[in-house]
Amino acid sequence: MEPTTPHIGTIRLVDALQWRLDRHALVGAGATSVPDAVERMVVTRAWPSEAADLTVALRHRDPKRDALNRALESGAVVRSYAFRGGSFIFTPPTAADLLMTRTATRIWETNRWQEQGGFAISDWQPLREAMREILGDGPMTRSQISERLDRIPGLRDLAQAALGAGADSLYKPLHWWGDICFGPTRGAEATFQLAGPVQDEPADAAVDEAGRRSIRAYLHSYAPATVDNLAYWLTQGLGVPRRRLLSWIGDLGSEITTIDVDGVPSLALTEDVASIASARSSESLRLLPAFDPWFFGPGTADNRLIPTAQRALASNSYPLVISRGSAVATWRVRAQTVVVKPFAPSSQLQFPLLEDEVQHLARILDKDLDAVLDPHA
């Protein structure tokens, strides 16, 4: 049974999306910094790096080349394993909450995970202590970590697992516990570095509180959101059992209000309800890169954002054009041209807005670009 929350009347989806567009810095003045842009999305996928760079730049009021890398190097944002085993970029406070939330399943304690990772649970604490010593000298690649483990009596058996042979099963829990995160890439090789001071093993109460904070953060960026949207984010994405997710929603009580969005019950932070209810849709068109959080936060199954028939385009890394927050076309750069392919001839694609957006993209990429419609659309 889903938890009961306070309820207000109906609002239009296009108006609700206007509020969300503003939160994502896709309309209005834009984000003031890389951390501000990332925080507005909660997280963004780290790979492909070109898409991650563009995801942030499109939201920044004054985009600069290599700004995301500089923010990563300074620690203003961090990159860690998170959703579905992939690497994501977040601000440190958001990382702490979401990664602790990921520990809810304690999956590293299962026999299957230990077999896959080539370790035993008794290795865990000695490994954590060894990693702090190994990475105390700075970021290291998997092969360098493996070489160091091979020199430590009692941990030599982990040297092979440290090469990533077990799909990084050895490293991922260290990310979730906040011990390590990704460091600067060296050529084609990833590195790992210390993420912060040593943490105690996550207790259930701490995980629950982190889960509630994660729901607040999500709703502050993706409201009005359905319970299915939240389940996509935390259950499918981080493995949180749906029953536990629903208990966290219930714990938040009056902090969450249910809004009827074109007949669909949706959740929002009570503190945001007034601004959501007062939002009014206006003409907007944006080019979004592959794997943009605009779609992968709510989930590509949310047909309010992308038609079901085009869902595979988002999942297969096609960059998308949104009009008033909903997907209406794909786009790609070919030489000096941005080729846009509308989903339908009657698409809400306004060419003057498209031309403006392409020139914005041209400034970010520092190249001359013109917009054309795909003649085969």
Strand pairing report for 7-11 and 256-261: parallel
pLDDT tens, residue by residue, 220-254? 999 999 999 999 999 999 999 999 999 999 999 99
pLDDT tens, residue by residue, 141-171? 999 999 999 999 999 999 988 998 777 999 9
Residue linked to tokens 């795909």:
374
pLDDT of residue 2: 67
CA distances from 203 to 206, 242, 247 (A): 5, 19, 17
CB atoms within 10 A of CB 111: 9
User: What is the distance between the alpha carbons of residues 293 and 59, in angstroms, rounded to a whole number?
Assistant: 12
CA distances from 308 to 225, 299, 312, 327 (A): 18, 12, 8, 11
Q: Of 321, 313, 320, whose CA–CA distance to 353 is shortest?
A: 321
List the chain domain ranges: 300-373
CB atoms within 10 A of CB 211: 25
The SS3 call for residue 58 is coil
Band (pLDDT 50/70/90 cuts) for residue 322 is very high
E strand intervals along the chain: 7-11, 44-45, 78-81, 87-90, 140-141, 180-182, 191-194, 256-261, 264-269, 285-288, 320-323, 326-334, 337-342, 370-373
pLDDT at position 347 over 70: no
Rounded to two decimals, what is the model's pTM? Answer: 0.95
User: What is the distance between the alpha carbons of residues 214 and 230, in angstroms, rounded to a whole number?
Assistant: 10
- Angle between helices 242-252 and 204-222 in degrees, nearest 10: 70
Angle at 118 between CA 117 and CA 123, to 5 degrees: 100
What the block records as the tokens of 352 is 């003057």
- Judged by average pLDDT, the poorest of 126-130, 291-295, 372-376 is 372-376
Please answer whether residues 170 and 81 qualify as being in contact, where contact means their C-beta atoms are separated by less than 8 angstroms.
Answer: no
Q: Of 94, 46, 98, whose CA–CA distance to 72 is shortest?
A: 46
The SS3 call for residue 206 is helix
pLDDT of residue 4: 63
Q: How confident is the model over 94-113, as a mean pLDDT?
A: 95
- Angle between helices 49-57 and 67-74 in degrees, nearest 10: 100
- 33, exposed or middle or buried, with CB in 10 Å at 0-12, 13-18, 19+? middle
CA dihedral 287, 353, 326, 259 (to 10 degrees): 120
Which residues touch 194 (CB under 8 Å, ≥6 apart)? 132, 135, 136, 179, 180
β-pair partners for 368: none
Q: What percent of the chain has pLDDT over 70?
A: 97
